[in-house]
Amino acid sequence: MALWKRASKYYVEFTAPDGTRVRRSTGTSDRRKAEEYHDRLKAELWEASRLKQKPKRTWDEAALRWLKEKAHKKSRRDDVQRIRWFTTHLRGKLLDEVSRDMIDRLLTTRLPKATDATRNRYMALIRAIFRKAQREWEWIDHIPAFKAYGEGSKVRVRHLTHEQAEALLEALPDHQREVVLFALTTGLRQGNILGLTWDRVDMARRMATIGHGDTKNGSALGVPLNEVALAVLQRQWGKHPTHVFTYRGSPLRSANTRKWRAALKACGIEDFRWHDLRHTWASWLRQNDVPTWVLQELGGWKSESMVRRYAHMSVKHLQPYSDLLINVPQLESTVIRETERHKTTPSGPYGHLRVVK
């Protein structure tokens, strides 16, 4: 019998009938109870094997297998952090002991200050793990109906004005100013900018390439370079053999630094994240009447819904339809009458039309 103590709890380890290694916490500091747990668990696994029943699996086993299978996942670091949090509360629990109410209670009581969006990320992860356990690993027959928290209709689009952007650039040190300027002119995410290498840049064709697997959606992205972006690249040329953006001779590893935050504070810019530079880029393009389908391709968004958040910033394509109202006889006569009465010159299709009852 493999039985050992870690901290205050005993753990067991043995080979199951199907050849897999079983390693679990007994949940007790009493050796006699731990031995009983070992014998009972081993008997249950043998019985399950003989009757062709699914063996009982724990949260720990599911979490470990998930992390092994998702080693390539871009957000694996986030998964590790959230799984570590869940494990502090679910360690040793069987999957069929985990319920919707249990997880909801954990998220609401243990993360009291978290937003609904944050709780939904935790909930989405545990839902995905349980789906894997049911549909692919065939460890369980049913999964809890994990709830989603209502985030409302709030969509965060925080962008800078041109004056704010100029002030921010002036307040930044040289190496960060170049990175921020490149972000404002290309809309690239921080990771793609800091990871940009010279073999991905084609000055002659005025474009940079983000390879497959390096974007958020996994697809390759061609990035057109305007005159400002090209000027930034020209200033970086020769500073490093492989990487575009550097600091003191080494590739720049982070842009969201104390100096970045100090520059924001000095400019009086509040509630602004580094990723909001991408929102700023998209907002400026949309304000200059760039169609949403063009913006979607420029930004590398797969879903049109992601671009719709900027749609309201330009209505130029809708103006001709709005102007059709001027052809309504009753409305046109009202405009003329009100203009005469106030002795003013109409400005736009409605002039100085006031509320007409």
127 catalytically annotated:
no
* pLDDT at position 244: 97
* pLDDT at position 31: 87
Catalytic residue, from 42, 91, 275, 309: name it. 275
Residues 39 and 58: beta-carbon distance below 8 Å:
no
Residues 334 and 342: beta-carbon distance below 8 Å:
no
Who contacts 263 (Cβ-Cβ below 8 Å, separation ≥6)? 168, 171, 172, 176
248 catalytically annotated:
no
* pLDDT at position 345: 52
The burial class, CB within 10 Å (0-12 / 13-18 / 19+), for 14 is: middle
The burial class, CB within 10 Å (0-12 / 13-18 / 19+), for 196 is: buried
278 catalytically annotated:
yes
* pLDDT at position 150: 76
* pLDDT at position 169: 96
Catalytic residue, from 38, 82, 119, 189: name it. 189
pLDDT tens, N- to C-terminus, the chain (357 residues):
688 788 888 888 888 777 777 888 888 888 888 888 888 888 877 777 666 667 788 999 999 999 999 988 878 889 999 999 999 999 989 999 999 999 999 999 999 888 888 999 999 999 999 999 999 998 998 899 998 887 654 567 899 999 999 999 999 999 999 999 999 999 999 999 999 999 999 999 999 999 887 887 778 999 999 999 999 999 999 999 999 999 999 999 999 899 999 999 999 999 999 999 999 999 999 999 999 999 999 999 888 888 988 988 988 888 888 777 666 666 666 666 767 776 655 554 444 434 333
* pLDDT at position 125: 95
What's this model's pTM, rounded to 2 decimal places? 0.60
216 catalytically annotated:
yes
Catalytic residue, from 216, 240, 243, 352: name it. 216
342 catalytically annotated:
no
* pLDDT at position 352: 42
- CB neighbours of residue 23 within 10 Å: 14
> What's the token pair of residue 289?
């009447």
Catalytic residue, from 278, 279, 281, 284: name it. 278
- CA-CA distance, 337 to 346, in Å (whole number)? 11
